[in-house]
Amino acid sequence: MKPIITLLRKPNMVCLSRQTAPGASGVSSAFDAAVAANARAIQGSDALTTAISAGPVPVASSAGRTFMPGLLTALSLAFFAALPSFAHAQSFDEAWQQLQQVSDKLAASSAKVDRARAERDAGEDMNLPELSLNGSYTRLEKPLEMDLRDLNPLASLDPSTLPPALGAALGSIPGELFITPFTEQDIFRASLSAMWPIYTGGRISAAQGIHEAHLAEEQQQRELTRRELFTTLVDRYYGVMVAAELARTQDKLVVSLEKHVEHAKKLEAQGQIAKVERLNAEVALDNARVQASSSRRQYEITELALRSLLKSDPAPSSPLFISSREPSLPYLAELTQKGHPALKLLDAKESQANGLIEVERGAYKPTVFLYGNYTLYEDDSLFAKMEPDWMLGVGFKMPLLARDGRSGKVEAARSALLQARHTKAQTREDLSLLLEQSYRQLKQAEEEYRALASSRELALENLRLRELAFNQGMSTSIERVDAELKLTAVDTQQLGAKFRYVQAYARLMAISGQLDEFVGQTKQVAMGDQQ
């Protein structure tokens, strides 16, 4: 029973715990980094007095290098815009179907199922009789012979007591005439032998039941692997979309800060602001560029993780979503407790333990069998002629004393059964906890997303007013940029909440076995976007 406990305690098993995919973990941390970068950009600039509009002009950076403002950002935006030309658009449903076809991990689980099925089929042959062809060659020290003089009455005769005529007659007979050969010195034999156990104390049926339960175990393990791959695909598939959107947002922020630096340089040249104000603006721009570069690297990492998983170069096309239908926690809990593969796997382990108990108990019972033998070839000897060509019989074997520790094996099998039952009870609790956790994370992400709607509306209105005030000379450039930074921060938080919602929703569907429900939701959202 040890392997199943190890299985259920592994952190990457979807049934009991969750491990974020390599591409998705960086995306989640990127949200916090993006928000922090926006805050640094806001704090790193002070208010400017008067702003003037200006187009792109060559500007010297803080390091003394000359560059075209917006050129680097324009190239990075062009990089993201050109991605679909290198990768083919792929919906989540298509990606899921492809993953099930190309996954080596799932193929390995399927191979284990095939192996267990073959072992189960092989176990059915234990009900059949055993028939074997036997052949032998034997060389004897000397042939088996019988001397009549060694048999009564000749052996007990004393020649001196016989009449002279009779004694002379017996003495004149050659000695080899008294010898009868039974076998040759070299013996060749060939035969067919059969043995058919008709009662084994239930050991055959118990062994067959163990094979059947092992097949069920491997089938449920394959389903666990399938669900694990499903959640991994969700993390990586939507992680690519989130990372790309986050990178675009950061690049747009760089564009805005580049304009802000241009304004600051012009205002400094006109003597309207101090040098430190321009330096603060450049520091904010440099920080934004670093964050934008980090976002692009993170996008490349998530894309690489998805490409490795699907063994292709896809461009995710199914958008993030917030489902209009709230999942029912009691219904999900009922589905989970009835049909989760981890519980069915433990049922199979319990059946194997019961079968093992029956096997060990059968060792105390007799074995009854039929046997037979048919001679195909034998030497032309007297002994061969005397031996029958075939024979049939029935036999039994009853162990009285054995040194294989039968009683200890029975107790070990009972302990394995108890272990399976306790593990199953613990697994039910773990599944209930995981389901409750995922459901609360789903609700939290949804509430956060909807709550940020008012914050976004406020940020949009604030940006609109700052833009109007800036154009009328009643607001500073930094105030307008601050408003844009706040809008970017809200958009980033909403994007993160939506991503966490999809992850929690996928976990709920995977735990309860409703993978098709999630796929159907992605199709419905895609159709709504097209309309």
Please spell the DSSP secondary structure of 334-392, one letter per residue. HHHHHH-HHHHHHHHHHHHHHHHHHHHHHTTS-EEEEEEEEEEEE-SSHHHHHS-SEEE
Query: Which pLDDT belongs to residue 245?
Result: 94
Amino acid occupying residue 52: I
Q: What are the domain boundaries of the chain?
A: 2-127+222-363+407-530
Report how far apart, in Å, the C-alpha atoms of 366 and of each of 125, 245, 246, 298, 363 are.
21, 74, 74, 69, 8
CATH topology for the 2-127+222-363+407-530 domain: Outer membrane efflux proteins (OEP) (1.20.1600)
Structure tokens at 510: 């995977």
Q: β-pairing, 130-139 with 367-378? A: unpaired
Q: Please report, in tens digits, the pLDDT of each residue of the chain (531 residues total).
A: 333 333 333 333 333 433 444 444 544 554 454 444 444 443 433 332 222 223 333 333 333 333 344 444 444 444 444 444 456 889 999 999 999 999 999 999 999 999 999 999 999 989 899 999 999 898 888 887 776 666 656 555 666 666 676 666 666 666 566 677 777 888 888 999 999 999 998 999 999 999 999 999 999 999 999 999 999 999 999 999 999 999 999 998 899 889 888 888 888 888 877 888 888 889 989 999 999 999 999 999 999 999 999 999 999 999 999 998 889 999 999 999 999 999 999 999 999 999 999 998 888 899 999 999 999 888 777 777 778 889 999 999 988 887 777 788 889 989 999 999 999 999 999 999 999 999 999 999 999 999 999 999 999 999 899 888 877 767 777 787 788 889 889 999 999 999 999 999 999 999 999 999 999 999 998 887 655
Contact predicate 229/106, CB 8 Å:
yes
- Which pLDDT score is estimated for 156? 57
* Long-range contact set of residues 470-478: C-beta below 8 Å, sequence gap at least 24: 470/51, 471/53, 473/50, 473/51, 475/51, 476/47, 476/48, 476/49, 476/50, 476/51, 477/48, 477/51, 477/260, 477/263, 477/264, 477/267, 478/45, 478/46, 478/47, 478/48, 478/260, 478/281
Q: Is the peptide bond before 153 cis (omega within 30 degrees of 0)?
A: yes
Query: What does the pLDDT read at residue 4?
Result: 33
Torsion angle of alpha carbons 501, 506, 509, 512, nearest 10°? -100
Q: 123-153 burial by CB neighbour count: b if 16+ within 10 A, else e?
A: beeeeeeeeeeeeeeeeeeeeeeeeeeeeee
pLDDT value at residue 153: 62
Beta strands in 154-269 (DSSP E): 179-181, 186-199
**Bridge-partner residues for 130, per DSSP?**
195
**pLDDT of res. 409:** 86
Q: Is the pTM of this model over 0.85?
A: no
CA distances to 9, 267, 404, 469, 527 from 411, rounded to whole Å, are 26, 88, 13, 85, 60
